[in-house]
């Protein structure tokens, strides 16, 4: 298994400190989606893996979602980095 610890940081130009630090362990950056709508940020990730073994096929499916409201005035520009 290729588990990696990824930290996603959400920031805004109006706030001095980060808005959120989110642990998306086990997901590749391409698996993570960030959507901002109506003053809320939704972070979601989804990953499906299939492996052939000597005993057959092994599958795993993982899904993550976190939603939170932005502080007033921070809706204009939100950035994220992984």
Does 80 reside within a domain? no
In order of 5, 49, 56, 57, the CA distances from 68 in angstroms are 22, 28, 41, 37
pLDDT digits (tens, 9 = 90+) for 40-72: 888 899 999 888 888 888 888 899 898 888 777
33: pLDDT strictly greater than 80: yes
Model-level pTM?
0.67
Does 8 reside within a domain? no
Does 3 reside within a domain? no
More confident residue, 5 or 22: 22
Find out whether 34 and 19 touch, Cβ atoms under 8 Å.
no
Cα 73 to Cα 82: distance, rounded to the nearest angstrom: 24
Q: Which domain holds residue 34?
A: 29-69
Does 23 reside within a domain? no
Q: Dihedral angle at the C-alpha atoms of 46, 51, 56, 62, nearest 10 degrees?
A: -20
């Amino acid at each position: 298994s290729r588990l990696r610890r990824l930290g996603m940081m959400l920031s805004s130009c109006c706030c001095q400190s980060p808005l959120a630090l989110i642990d998306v362990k086990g997901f590749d950056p391409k698996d993570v989606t960030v959507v901002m709508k109506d003053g809320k940020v939704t972070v979601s990730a989804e990953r499906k893996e299939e492996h052939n073994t000597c005993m057959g096929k092994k599958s795993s499916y993982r899904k993550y979602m976190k939603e939170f409201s932005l502080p007033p005035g921070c809706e204009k520009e939100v950035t994220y980095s992984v």
